[in-house]
Amino acid sequence: MVTGKQLGMIRAIASEANIDAEAECSQMMRCGIDELSKRAASDLIEHLQNLQRNTVTPMRRVG
């Protein structure tokens, strides 16, 4: 089963990137976050990190 550390990472990444982690999990894994195996949770974390990289634009340097 998914670990507490993984749940924390999923929540933190999703919150920072303004992503609905439960919806992403349901779409990707066809189950809820609390039903994930450790491996599936790792895959979800990687997926969320990729989404985060694609949605968060880096800050620009001023002058």
* pLDDT tens profile 38-49: 999 999 999 999
- pLDDT score, position 59: 56
Alpha helices in 18-55 (DSSP H): 21-29, 38-55
- For residue 11, which of 50, 39, 44, 59 has the smallest C-alpha distance? 44
- pLDDT at residue 29, as a whole number: 95
pLDDT at 27: 96
Q: Which pLDDT score, from 0 to 100, does residue 54 have?
A: 86
pLDDT at position 47 is 96
- Domain locations in the chain? 4-53
Q: Pick the closest to residue 48 from 6, 13, 23 (CA basis).
A: 13
- Kindly report, residue by residue over 25-37, the tens digit of the pLDDT: 999 999 999 999 9
How far is the C-alpha of 52 from the C-alpha of 63, rounded, in Å?
27
Centroid of chain to Cα 26: 12
